[in-house]
């Protein structure tokens, strides 16, 4: 039965990988933004990092573990122009079902914006927002395998323009604790709109097929991660010839292959240093972000890089991340992880 289930999950991933489009032509693109400080510090996408942070399981349900029973993640992210992001997630292990469950929400508030008609007359104010509510479950198969599924309800509201959708994530993880490495495969955002924005047709969700591997060194306090994303479409380059002409970038007389560039647009590199059993320092590099946000003939600083630190106490984890977008532009993210059974009695998971 378990073998059949794993085969079904793999077939669903491979079949669905050809049925979605990339960002720019999709709806609900806020689903691609990082919900947790550790994830932000790891480059924005990571599905294999070996950690006890339940926040990472929001992006890969197969990372849920019984040890995350009653662990609660609360995150605050402040963007420019008054945009706020809030995230909360809690885990629960059910021994009789041998299943770890989790529920979470990721909410974006874009502040108050004047609502006008076509002639500019102010009609009032609107408070646009996006959010996704998610329920996840994961089980272990054999000694090394873990599989999980997440069901999502998605909603966007921009004044009179509202939309709702449903989606699913499927994940498989293989962990080799003896050799200190872990690998994962995840298919994200397989679903559809159930209510379209006013005056628009149905749009595709930002599907993503991701593969990741993390390896912790046996004789050094360091873990490295290599993450591949958007594997269902190799060429993700976008060449805006009009923009290039406006800023004076000459077009080549013959077409280049850009094999190196196309490959690394799917790659995120990250490393985590364990300063002690209570302090973690994380760094990540997102090549796609740097290439898409770099400004030609200008200093682009640490664009594409991200940094973070975690302080892990017995009853609370405090995490902070800073990610860089273009020169002198960065965002800060704060998060707290609490284990509620430390406050309300011993839980069932060890």
Q: How confident is the model at residue 251 (pLDDT cuts 50, 70, 90)?
A: low
- Asked if 268 contacts 306 with a C-beta cutoff of 8 angstroms, the reply is no
- Measured CA to CA, the distance from residue 139 to residue 145 in angstroms comes to 9
Outline where the chain has alpha helix (H): 2-16, 37-41, 241-246, 259-264, 287-293, 341-344
Confidence (pLDDT) at 20: 47
Residue 105: which of 89, 90, 92, 127 has the closest Cα? 89
**The dihedral sign for the CA sequence 226, 68, 57, 3:** positive
Torsion of CA 340, 169, 97, 4, to 10 degrees: -160
- Asked if 150 contacts 169 with a C-beta cutoff of 8 angstroms, the reply is yes
Q: Phi and psi dihedrals of 237, rounded to 5? A: -70, 145
In three-state secondary structure terms, 154 is strand
Q: Phi and psi dihedrals of 37, rounded to 5? A: -60, -40
Q: Which residues pair with 86 in a beta bridge?
A: 76, 107
Residue 136: which of 162, 179, 96, 167 has the closest Cα? 167
Other C-beta atoms closer than 10 Å to the C-beta of 320 total: 17
More confident residue, 308 or 13: 308
Residue 21: which of 242, 219, 189 has the closest Cα? 189
More confident residue, 347 or 153: 153
What are the tens digits of pLDDT across the range 125-152? Answer: 899 999 999 999 999 999 999 999 999 9
Q: Phi and psi dihedrals of 323, rounded to 5? A: -120, 150
- Measured CA to CA, the distance from residue 33 to residue 92 in angstroms comes to 25
- Measured CA to CA, the distance from residue 80 to residue 183 in angstroms comes to 35
- Measured CA to CA, the distance from residue 70 to residue 100 in angstroms comes to 10
Q: Can you identify the CATH homologous superfamily of domain 2-17+34-344?
A: monomeric porin ompg (2.40.160.40)
Residue 328 has pLDDT above 70, yes or no: no
Confidence (pLDDT) at 254: 45
Residue 119 has pLDDT above 90, yes or no: no
* pLDDT (mean) for 107-112: 93
In three-state secondary structure terms, 263 is helix
More confident residue, 17 or 83: 83
- Asked if 269 contacts 284 with a C-beta cutoff of 8 angstroms, the reply is yes
Here the tokens at position 287 are 């090549």
What are the tens digits of pLDDT across the range 170-226? Answer: 999 999 999 999 999 999 999 999 999 987 878 899 999 999 999 999 999 999 999
- Measured CA to CA, the distance from residue 326 to residue 183 in angstroms comes to 31
Q: Which residues contact 248 (CB under 8 A, 6 or more apart)?
A: none
Q: Which residues pair with 188 in a beta bridge?
A: 208
Q: DSSP letter for 61, please.
A: G
* Residue ranges of domains in the chain: 2-17+34-344
Q: DSSP letter for 343, please.
A: H
- For the ranges 8-22, 46-60, 311-325, the lowest mean pLDDT is seen at 8-22
Confidence (pLDDT) at 245: 62
Q: Can you tell me which residue has the tokens 């662990």? A: 71
Mean pLDDT of the chain: 87
List strand residue ranges (DSSP E) for 62-121, in order: 71-78, 84-94, 99-109, 113-116
Q: How confident is the model at residue 246 (pLDDT cuts 50, 70, 90)?
A: low
Q: Can you tell me which residue has the tokens 């290039």? A: 244
Here the tokens at position 259 are 């094999």
Residue 84's alpha-carbon distances to 31, 130, 190, in angstroms, are 15, 11, 26
């Amino acid at each position: 039965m378990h073998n059949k289930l794993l085969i079904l999950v793999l077939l669903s991933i491979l079949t669905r990988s050809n049925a979605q489009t990339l960002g720019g032509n999709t709806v609900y693109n806020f689903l691609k933004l990082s919900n947790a400080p550790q994830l932000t510090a790891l480059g924005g996408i990571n599905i294999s990092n070996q950690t006890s942070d339940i926040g990472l399981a929001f992006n890969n349900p197969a990372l849920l573990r019984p040890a995350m029973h009653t662990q609660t993640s609360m995150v605050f992210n402040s963007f420019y122009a008054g945009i706020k992001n809030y995230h909360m997630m809690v885990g629960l292990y059910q021994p009789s079902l041998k299943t770890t469950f989790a529920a979470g929400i990721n909410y974006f508030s874009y502040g108050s914006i004047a609502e006008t008609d076509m002639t500019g007359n102010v009609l009032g104010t609107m408070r646009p927002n996006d959010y996704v509510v998610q329920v996840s479950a994961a089980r272990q198969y054999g000694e090394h395998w873990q599989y999980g599924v997440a069901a999502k309800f998605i909603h966007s509201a921009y004044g009179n323009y509202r939309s709702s959708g449903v989606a699913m994530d499927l994940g498989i993880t293989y962990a080799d604790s003896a050799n200190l490495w872990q690998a994962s495969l995840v298919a994200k955002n397989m679903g559809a709109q159930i209510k379209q924005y006013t005056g628009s047709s149905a749009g595709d969700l930002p599907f993503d097929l991701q593969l990741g591997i993390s390896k912790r060194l046996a004789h050094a306090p360091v873990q490295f991660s290599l993450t591949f994303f958007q594997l269902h479409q190799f060429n993700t380059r976008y060449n805006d010839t009009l923009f290039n002409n406006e800023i004076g970038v000459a077009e080549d007389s013959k077409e280049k292959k850009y094999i190196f560039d196309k490959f690394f647009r799917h790659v995120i590199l990250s490393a985590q240093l364990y300063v002690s059993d209570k302090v973690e320092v994380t760094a990540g590099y997102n090549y796609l972000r740097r290439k898409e946000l770099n400004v030609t003939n200008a200093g682009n600083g640490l664009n594409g890089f991200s940094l973070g630190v975690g302080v892990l106490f017995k009853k609370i984890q405090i995490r902070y991340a800073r990610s860089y977008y273009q020169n002198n532009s960065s965002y800060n993210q704060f998060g707290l992880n609490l284990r509620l059974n430390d406050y309300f009695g011993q839980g069932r998971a060890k």
